[in-house]
Amino acid sequence: MGFVRQIHERVSKVLKRKTAAHDTRPAHLRDGEKAEALAERHLAAQGLTTIARNLRSRWGEIDLIAADGDTIVFVEVRLRSDARYGGAAASISAAKQTRLVRTAESFLAGQGRAYANRPCRFDVILLDRLDARSIEWIRGAFDAF
């Protein structure tokens, strides 16, 4: 029993080191996570308070939900390093906006009931590269239909 435990502990240590040292996720997922962290720090520096991150519903995902005073802000973070396809702003289609609105409604009807009577806004954070100086914050980028 002691020998098996020692082997298990050694294997666990090796696996933890490998996992910590080498992130096997695709680059776009790692970069997206970094972009969201940059956006969250930027919003915090502007006085917004994060309520939730990566909120998922059956309709989609909202990257950040924050409070700007009494206003609840649903934030979509977009990183596009290649402008050939229209840049970060062009990637937020009408269909994407609809999914964001439905996810926001789901949040407000469920776990966000405490915020349901407060004004809401949909903002977009655009990044052309993973650099805080490249952040473009569009407040009220679109309205709920």
CATH code of 109's domain: 3.40.1350.10
What is the structure's pLDDT at 32? Answer: 84
Ranges of the chain with pLDDT below 70: 1-2, 16-22, 81-90, 145
Smallest CA-to-CA distance from 95 within 64, 59, 129, 134 is with 59
> Is residue 14 one of the residues assigned to a domain?
no
**Distance, CA of 108 to CA of 91 (rounded, Å):** 25
> Is residue 17 one of the residues assigned to a domain?
no
By the 8 A CB rule, do 73 and 123 touch?
yes
Q: How many domains does the chain have?
A: 1
What is the structure's pLDDT at 132? Answer: 74
> Is residue 13 one of the residues assigned to a domain?
no
> Is residue 64 one of the residues assigned to a domain?
yes
Indicate the pTM of the whole model: 0.78
Print the domain residue range for 126. Answer: 26-142
Backbone angles phi, psi at 138, to 5 degrees: -105, 105
Q: Exposed, middle or buried: residue 98 (CB in 10 Å: 0-12, 13-18, 19+)? A: middle
What is the structure's pLDDT at 87? Answer: 61
> Is residue 12 one of the residues assigned to a domain?
no
What is the structure's pLDDT at 92? Answer: 83
